[in-house]
Each structure stands twice: as structure tokens, then as C-alpha cells.
Amino acid sequence: MISTFQGIMDAARDGGARKRIAVPSVKRGDLNLLSRAVKGGLAVPVIVGDGRAMEALVKKSPLTSLEHEILDVGESGGALPEAIRLVREGRADILMQGGLDQKAFLGAVLDAKTGLRKGRLASYASVFQLLKSDKLILATDTFVNNFPGAAEKQLILENVIGLAGLLGMGSLKIAALAAIEQVNPSISSTLDAAVLSKMSERKQFGNAVVEGPLDMDCALSTVAASRKGLKSEVTGNVDIYLVPDIETGYLLVQALVFIGRMKTAGVLLGTVRPVILNIPFVSGENRLVEIALASLMCGKGGGNNG
């Protein structure tokens, strides 16, 4: 089981072939990151964009003396579709947001026809390393879906369970969070959580145990839970936090980063190949972890750079 960010880096490095990472319209700030990824033996960047402009940027960065490719698509703004095509056709393993506007980038990536979506739903998972012990926890969906219902949350869970498996997390304990631990039909998150919890009882998520609704105190503390009369193997030992909606997920992750001083990295799930977004509350160092995580998700195969 991988229990630290360093562990993710190590596992990715030991994972065999270096992955080709397609970066449309790279921006200056990402060049250092990509250089580190090359040096660390994680990936080889394939920079897609206006050849001359890209060349000029790379020249001024440490990447210039390291292995990389530049794919010239001219000035026409065709960098993103070309990068997506590379990934879809298996000529690159990972897609990174690069210097593109997030709205345009995600719009293209999630496009049902021309994008990279694998199943019915793409979602985002945030990975955290606990401060006081070597353990990774996941939170989802913290970036993509606004107000998923129970059906969407089932898919969000399936996506994240896949990621957890890759990290070697066994016998998963999942907290379906809500404002209160009781089922209240006026609070839809409690209904969704109860449904998912029942589904897990029926083994619809394999061996993963989904407990919900759980409020945050019950999720975090076995003692708190038992004082509220709640007994569950999930309380006080959560691997995955399923958030009710984006208002909660997006803000919860940031509360953990800015007030809890926790490190976070994240990845898009439910795509044919890993996609790395550019999120400002992920530090530079942890963006490298995101590349490692994406490499890990590619599996042992892939990579034309073995």
C-alpha cells in the first residue's frame, strides 16, 4: 500500500516505462515542473503548439537540455485538439492542462464525442497525506460535478475506488458526508448517502464499505460517533470522503490546505487516460506528485519511451 506522497513518486518511478505527457501550449511556469519530471525519470513531455513560440520558451528553461518533443501545430490554436488526439490514439499517455484556459480545456476533455471521457461520468479526486501519520486519504468529487445526485455519486464512487485500488488501499472505508448523521428527507445529501450506504451493504461496491450519512465529527472520531449512538468500522478511520456537492468539496479541500496546512494533489478520473488539471492550491512540488500519480494510473504498459 502506498501511504505517502513520496511513495507515489517512488512507485511511479519503479513503474516501468516513462510516460509521454502531452502538454498543449505550455506556459513558462510549467517548464520547471516538466524538467523535474524528466529528471526524475517520470515522464517525457510532448509539447504541442506553435513550434517557434514553444521552442523559444523551452530554450530559456532547463528543459532545453533534457529529453522532450515539440509538436508544431502552427499558430492556429489547434494545440488542444491535437494534444487530445495524441492521447486518444495512444501516442501520448497523459494529458496536462498546460497554459490553456481551464474552461476551454475541460470542455474539450469532457466532450462526449471528441474528448477523453471513458464512461458516463468524469470526476475529480483530491489526495491528501495525513500530517500525523503515514496514510493517504481521498476526497471526491472536489472539482468537476456541481450537484451530483445519487446515480452520479455511484459513478463518482466507482471512479475513486479504482484509484484507491491503484494506490493499494485495501478494505476501503468510505464516508458519505452530510451536515447531519441522521437521514432527513429535506437534506438531499443525507438521502444520497443513505442510498449509497445501502448499496454498499448489498456489495454493489465490492468490498468497499460506504457509511452514510456521516457528519464530519462522526467521520473523524469514533468517540464522537459512539456518543451519537453510531457504530461503524468507518468512523475515525476513513479512507475516502465522498462530499455532497461542489460547494462543499471545492471548499473543504481548500480548508484542509490553507487552514490545515495539508498537502494535496489531484487527478481527473473517468477518462480513457489520466488528465492533470492546473489547480492553484496544488503547490509546485505536489504537481510533480500529480504527474507521478498519473503515470501510476497508466499502468506498467504504455509509454513509447521505455
Partner 1 sequence: MGNSITSLNVSELAREKGPKKLAVLAPEDEEFMLAVKKSWELGYIEPVLIGNAEKMEQLAEKIGFDIAGFERIVENDRQAIADLGIGMLFSGQLPVVSKGQIPTSFIYRSIIRAEAKAGSGMTVSVASLWEVPGLDHLVAFTDSGVSIYPDYKTKVEILKNAVFLCRVLGYEKPRIAVLSGQRSFGGTLPSYRDYRQLRKAAAAGEFGECEIIGATSFTDIFMGSRGRLRDDGRIDIRKMPHIILVPRLDTGNIICKLDFFLDVKRCSLLVTTRGPVIIPARSDFSESIVEQVAVGAVVADRMEGGEVK
Among residues 281 and 305, whose Cβ is nearest to partner 1? Answer: 281
The pairing of strands 209-214 and 240-242 is unpaired
Q: What does DSSP say about strands 173-177 and 43-49: parallel, antiparallel, or unpaired?
A: unpaired
On whether the CB atoms of residues 290 and 267 are closer than 8 A, the answer is: yes
Question: Least Å distance between CB 25 and partner 1?
Answer: 16
Tell the smallest beta-carbon distance from residue 221 to partner 1 (Å). Answer: 5
- Radius of gyration in angstroms for the set of CA atoms belonging to the chain, rounded to a whole number: 20
Toward partner 1, which CB reaches closer, 46 or 177? 177
Q: Which is nearer to partner 1, 93 or 215 (CB)?
A: 215
Distance CA 162, CA 123 (A): 12
What is the DSSP secondary-structure string of 43-105?
EEEEEEE-HHHHHHHHHTSGGGGS--EEEE-TTSS-HHHHHHHHHHTTS-SEEE-TTS-HHHH
Give least dist CB 229 to partner 1, A: 9
As measured in angstroms, the least distance from the Cβ of 125 to partner 1 is 16
Other C-beta atoms within 10 Å of 69: how many? 13
How many residues are listed for the chain in this entry? 306
Output the smallest distance, CB 170 to partner 1, in A: 23
Do residues 274 and 298 touch, judged by C-beta distance below 8 A? yes
In the complex, the smallest distance separating the C-beta of residue 266 from partner 1, rounded to whole angstroms, is 13
> Which residue matches cell numbers 478511520?
237
Decide whether 44 or 243 has the Cβ nearer to partner 1.
Answer: 243
Specify the residue, 213 or 303, whose C-beta has the smaller distance to partner 1: 213
Residue number with CB closer to partner 1 (73 or 80): 80
Least distance to partner 1, CB of residue 185, Å: 11
Contact criterion met (CB below 8 Å) for 33 and 22:
no
Interacting residues toward partner 1 by CB under 8 A: 29, 101-103, 106-107, 143-144, 146, 177-180, 182, 186-187, 189, 215-218, 220-221, 223-225, 227-228, 243-252, 254-261, 263, 280-285
In the complex with partner 1, the residue whose CB is nearer, 53 or 262, is 262
